[in-house]
Structure 1
Amino acid sequence: MKFIALTETNDNEGETWRFWLQLDGNEDQLEHLRAAIAGADEEETYDLDSVDDAVPESEVDVLVKHTLSGYMAYDHKVTGLLEIVDGWTDIDELYKGGVRGLFTAPAPA
């Protein structure tokens, strides 16, 4: 499995967090997320890595295991299916790691 980083630079807390989002199975939804971020004008800054910058799960696991922490941990692994609809623009939902709430757990095998 591969992941791409959603980076949130939070001026309020003075910290930057990376949410490693599952790429596999979420390609189209991540493009909707990318479009919403590109069209937003927010105090908090969000940046979604390119698919070309995808990282293998084993590397994400090491980053998360050894992450530093402040207000919250600096690296987070987010798995499951991203559920946003075309035209979604409420990036306020991303604030302080809210992106995790947009993912559902994968169906049991």
Structure 2
Amino acid sequence: MSEIKVLEDNVISKIAAGEIISRPLNIVKELIENSLDAGADNIIINIDKNKISVEDNGCGIGKAYIELAFMRHSTSKISSEHDLESISSLGFRGEALYAISVVSEVDLFTKTEDDVT
């Protein structure tokens, strides 16, 4: 997993989309894209009346980056304007987890290769 960092203002101004989560479908889409970007090839989605859960076998988020991952414009995908020329991931703006956390209660359970199984 790459290091998650807050983007600098000059990069934010080029990419900011003001991600809006207006429906549960948007949450599911964003979480599936996060799973795919994390290299998952097995994604389990459960939807109940008041809960959406996504479980995958992606690379996970290192414990040191969990809080940072929910900050607006925090991403592991890019760090400079130059990186915008070669984006290969579905998400890169660092807006989705922040936007989801604004409209819902989020519980994150994650494990990386370095974590004891």
TM-score normalised by structure 2 residue count:
0.28
TM-score normalised by structure 1 residue count:
0.29
Structure showing greater radius of gyration is 2
